[in-house]
Amino acid sequence: MEIEIRKIFGVKRGSNDKSPWITGALCLHDDRVILADSNNPRILLYDGEGSLLNEISLFGNPRDVVLLENSQLVMTLPNELMILFLDLETFKVTKTVHVGYECFGITLVGKKLVVACGTHLTTLDVNGEILNTTPIRDCSARYICGDDNENLYFTGWNTDAIHCISTYGTYSIMPGNALLKFCRGLVVLNEILFVVGRWSNNIVRFSLNGDHKEPILTKADGLDVPVAMTLSRNSTNKFLVTNNNGRSVVICEMVDPASKGQTQVTENESKCPKEEIEQELVNSD
């Protein structure tokens, strides 16, 4: 399979013309897109064509977001040391849970939520009850995902490796070597791990044992300081990447090489000027 870029769209700036920094995203079953803006206290709802449908104000800046089966969004608010439950239909807050630590990435593994809290992982049930915490080493955990076997994979602050905790508690590290610099968002699909390299401007595909790795999207394809990544719930072949340091969205599709090039990319807003991105990189992690 090869990768084609299907859609690129810019993200609306925040209040007082503040730049967005999209660090978490979801692609819903109807192709709508949820974006968590870590630079502004809001989440944004776009349709699959990149048109803004709704902007929901929050009392904190969200870092990451997941969707539960009961149509509840659950997002992390690092500065408030809590996670927040939001009804997807009404966009009303239904619950907040204080976890006591800065909380960054969040993932749903089986029937449990796992939150990356820097020095440890916090596990909760889907009702928000804290079940346990797991200390981690050599990493300040930021982004996290899990596979169908409930193994966990996470990346940390200022690291070029992927950290893994198996269902049985075994801890291991997959080095990015020269391919990945400053690992950020990551997802698992069909026994393959996809990892965003922020400073390497790429997405790298790993076998789950770490033996095989290769870039699938690079700066030559238009990636420029990518941050987060999420899979589509409508198609197993589509995924979304937040690009330009979280100021734009790139929707991609894994395609058969025989059909590559038959669909043109569409772009409804110009990309962010490079000089604007560089001015704010030092203020984001």
Q: How far apart are CA 127 and CA 132, in angstroms?
A: 14
**Mind spelling out the 3-state secondary structure of 123-165?**
EEECCCCEEEEEECCCCCEEEEEECCCCCEEEEECCCCEEEEE
Q: pLDDT band at residue 283, thresholds of 50, 70 and 90?
A: very low
pLDDT of residue 130: 96
Predicted local distance difference test score (pLDDT) of residue 285: 59
Q: Is 15 helix (H, G, I), strand (E, B) or coil?
A: helix
Measured distance CA(28)–CA(43) in Å, rounded: 14
pTM: 0.90
Does residue 277 carry a pLDDT above 80? no
Distance, in Å, from the CA atom of 162 to the CA atom of 182, rounded to the nearest integer, reads 10
Report the distance separating Cα 53 and Cα 31, nearest Å. Answer: 12
Least confident of 32-46, 80-94, 250-264: 250-264
Residue 22 has pLDDT above 50, yes or no: yes
Identify the CA nearest to 47 among candidates 98, 75, 7.
Answer: 7
Note the pLDDT tens digit of each residue in 55-95: 999 999 999 999 999 899 999 999 999 999 999 999 999 99
Phi, psi of 159 (to 5 degrees): -135, 155
- Mean pLDDT score, 103-123: 95
